[in-house]
């Protein structure tokens, strides 16, 4: 990993600005954990029988972004990125994936998520979560996705250390 170029979240701000900043910080953290690695290193699995890899995490987070922003607020029938069904585990199989493929999909979903969030009138805007068959607020979605990144960035810490010994932010 090169130097840490992430923009840290502010110490003060509106609820929306804080959620947006923390979410972007965690998105940047995942990208940073993958910096400087080859496709092969990005595909390296943690330990059998797990298929977890850094590239698998990037693919999974593309699915998460799509499921929680696009499918909830724009297109309830939008297909998943890497599976014909709602199968978040399919994204973890990055055995044939490349950085270019995974990051292109993830970055596109992040851009869509940002556009949807910025267009919403408030955090109370309701969307429909088709998997749950219920309405959810933008606030809930942003918190849920933020927690997903937090959990998976912890995985990324261990995965990166396993690839080349790099630790730290």
Task: Summarize pLDDT for 36-48 with one digit per residue, the tens.
Answer: 999 999 999 988 7
User: What one-character DSSP code corresponds to residue 87?
Assistant: -
Query: Is there a contact between 115 and 72 (Cβ–Cβ < 8 Å)?
Result: no
Q: Which tens digit of pLDDT belongs to each residue from 85-102?
A: 777 777 888 888 999 999
Q: Where are the alpha helices (DSSP H) in the chain?
A: 15-34, 39-43, 54-65, 71-73, 99-119, 138-164
The whole model's pTM is what?
Answer: 0.93
% of the chain beyond a pLDDT of 90: 75
Preceding peptide of 81 cis, ω within 30°: no
CA 102 to chain centre: 11
**In this predicted structure, what is the pLDDT of residue 1?**
61
């Amino acid at each position: 990993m090169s130097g840490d170029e992430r923009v840290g979240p502010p110490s003060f701000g509106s609820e929306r600005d804080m959620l947006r900043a923390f979410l972007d910080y965690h998105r940047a953290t995942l990208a940073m954990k993958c910096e400087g690695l080859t496709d092969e290193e990005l595909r390296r699995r943690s330990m059998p029988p797990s298929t977890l890899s850094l590239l698998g995490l990037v693919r999974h987070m593309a699915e998460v972004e799509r499921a929680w922003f696009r499918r909830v607020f724009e297109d309830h029938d939008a297909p998943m990125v890497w599976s014909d069904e709602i199968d978040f585990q399919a994204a973890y199989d990055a055995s044939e994936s490349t950085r270019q493929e995974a990051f292109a999909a993830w970055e596109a979903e992040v851009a869509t998520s940002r556009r949807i969030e910025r267009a919403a009138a408030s955090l109370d805007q309701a969307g429909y979560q088709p998997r749950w068959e219920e309405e959810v607020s933008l606030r809930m979605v942003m918190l849920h996705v933020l927690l997903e990144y937090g959990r998976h960035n912890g995985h990324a810490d261990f995965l990166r250390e396993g690839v080349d010994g790099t630790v730290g932010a």
